[in-house]
């Protein structure tokens, strides 16, 4: 078991006006330049000018990733503050509108040309995690071993309950919006990497996609790196939640790689259950009941985490990450970001806030959490309950 499995993190952030709490339609060029100077080669533009992306260096350990993530968030927060702006990490921005300036790059121009209103509506931010898979392993078979667990990642990361300035009723409206795109939900079933390559080749030959990376599923073999890329997670305000999800995914990849025939038990029923559980996770988040193949009754997420610990505990011990299950339970007990946002929003309305004022409270909380500041409202310390 390789205790130093290499991995990388990509985070997308919203730039926020500290006075209005809204996203500026076209932020000052000097503010974007400051972000680029802060991140250097690890800076990337996103679809809209009011978003930036961090694509991390390669990591060998979680402490290394934790230090880098802290430096990035702190550095970007300070740089943007000089321009009256803030850094916000969440799947959706509570006060975002869809009147935003697209980024002037060919790749993004092509996306807007090809997908029109679907692209213009996609004011979304995600957390992507790459974990290296040994060259001797078939990445699709490894992926198939992990697929049933993906809704757990969505429930734990859900941070997009607000959409277009209102309560969407979903824990992850980001995933709802993603379903408007082709090839951006649960991947098709592929037996192995050869079948996957044949599918991508067919799409390329028929002009369905411009490049292999235009398959944007919730998990995929990377077209650029020898990795599996987890894409289902909403961007997380709290850095410690990011590290928990990274550790959990890395653990599951390690476990799958160690199996004699990874993915062999994945079936059509597994695919049906995955799609249903993804729906439940994006709708109800940590409060959902999840179907587990072979179990008679649905499970609460706390029970599902217990099953995960039983399944992956030995591998976790070999990797030295036994605490990951405790960290995941903390998210459930304290509430996901979506849970905390809704509580704060409803508190504001009860206090007589207008919708805009209540949303401003939520934005302030997200800005503080992204910057690593302590929770301001004691009522948010425990909002979801659960084991």
Rounded CA separation 56/79 (Å):
18
Residue 380 has a pLDDT of: 45
For 143-152, the pLDDT digits (tens) are 999 999 999 9
- Confidence (pLDDT) at 381: 40
Smallest Cα–Cα separation from 174: which of 88, 246, 281, 43?
A: 281
Strands 85-88, 7-17: pairing is antiparallel
| Greatest Cα-to-Cα distance within the chain, rounded to the nearest angstrom | 61
d(CA 147, CA 136): 20
pLDDT one-digit tens code per residue, 109-124: 888 888 888 888 889 9
pLDDT at position 103 is: 76
Task: Give the residue ranges of the chain where pLDDT is below 50.
Answer: 378-387
pLDDT of residue 375: 60
Taking the C-alpha atoms of residue 74 and residue 79, their distance in angstroms, rounded to an integer, is: 9
- Residue 49, token pair as written in the block: 């000018």
Render 235-302 in DSSP notation, one character per residue: P-SSHHHHHHHHHHHHHHHHHHHTSSSTTTT--HHHHHHHHHHHHHHHHHGGG-EE--TT-SS-EEHH
pLDDT tens for 39-70 read: 999 998 877 888 999 999 999 999 999 999 99
**Can you tell me which residue has the tokens 């990733």?**
65
Q: What is the pLDDT of residue 379?
A: 43
Q: Determine the pLDDT at residue 376.
A: 54
CATH of domain 7-381: 3.30.590.20
Q: Cα dihedral sign for 113, 183, 200, 153? A: positive
pLDDT (0 to 100) of residue 383: 39
Q: How far apart are CA 209 and CA 262, in angstroms?
A: 29
Q: Please report the pLDDT score of residue 47 as a whole number.
A: 76
CB-based contacts of 107, cutoff 8 Å, min separation 6: none
| Strand partners of residue 41 | none
């Amino acid at each position: 078991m390789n205790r130093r499995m290499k991995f990388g993190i990509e985070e997308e952030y919203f730039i926020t006006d500290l006075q209005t709490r809204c996203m500026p339609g076209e932020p000052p060029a000097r503010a974007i330049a400051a972000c680029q100077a802060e991140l250097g080669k690890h800076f990337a533009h996103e679809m809209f000018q009011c978003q930036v992306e961090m694509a991390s260096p390669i990591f060998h350990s979680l402490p290394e990733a934790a230090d880098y993530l802290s430096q990035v968030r702190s550095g970007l927060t300070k740089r943007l503050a000089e321009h009256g702006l803030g850094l916000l990490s969440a799947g959706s921005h509570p006060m975002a509108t869809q009147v935003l300036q697209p980024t002037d790059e060919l790749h993004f121009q092509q996306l807007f040309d090809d997908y029109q209103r679907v692209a213009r509506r996609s004011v979304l931010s995600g957390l992507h995690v790459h974990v290296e898979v040994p060259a001797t392993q078939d990445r699709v078979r490894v992926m198939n071993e992990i697929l049933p667990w993906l809704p757990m990642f969505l429930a734990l990361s859900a941070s997009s309950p607000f959409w277009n300035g209102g309560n969407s009723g979903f824990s992850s409206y980001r995933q709802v919006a993603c379903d408007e795109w082709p090839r951006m939900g649960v991947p098709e079933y592929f037996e192995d990497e050869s079948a996957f390559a044949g599918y991508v080749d067919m799409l390329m030959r028929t002009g369905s996609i411009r490049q292999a990376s235009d398959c944007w599923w919730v998990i995929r073999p990377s077209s650029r790196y020898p990795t599996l890329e987890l894409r289902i997670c909403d961007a997380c305000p709290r850095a410690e939640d990011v590290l928990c999800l990274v550790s959990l995914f890395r653990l599951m990849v390690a476990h799958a790689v160690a199996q004699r025939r990874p993915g062999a038990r994945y079936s059509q029923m597994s695919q049906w259950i995955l799609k249903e559980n993804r729906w439940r996770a994006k709708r109800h988040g940590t409060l959902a009941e999840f179907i587990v193949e072979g179990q008679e009754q649905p499970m609460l997420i706390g029970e599902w985490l217990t099953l995960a610990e039983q399944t992956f505990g030995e591998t976790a011990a070999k990797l030295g990450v036994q605490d990951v299950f405790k960290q995941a339970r903390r998210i459930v007990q304290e509430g996901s970001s979506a849970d905390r946002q809704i509580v704060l929003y409803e508190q504001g309305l009860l206090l007589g806030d207008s919708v805009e004022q209540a949303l401003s409270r939520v934005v302030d909380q997200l800005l503080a959490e992204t910057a690593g500041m302590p929770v301001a409202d004691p009522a948010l310390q425990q909002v979801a309950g659960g084991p």
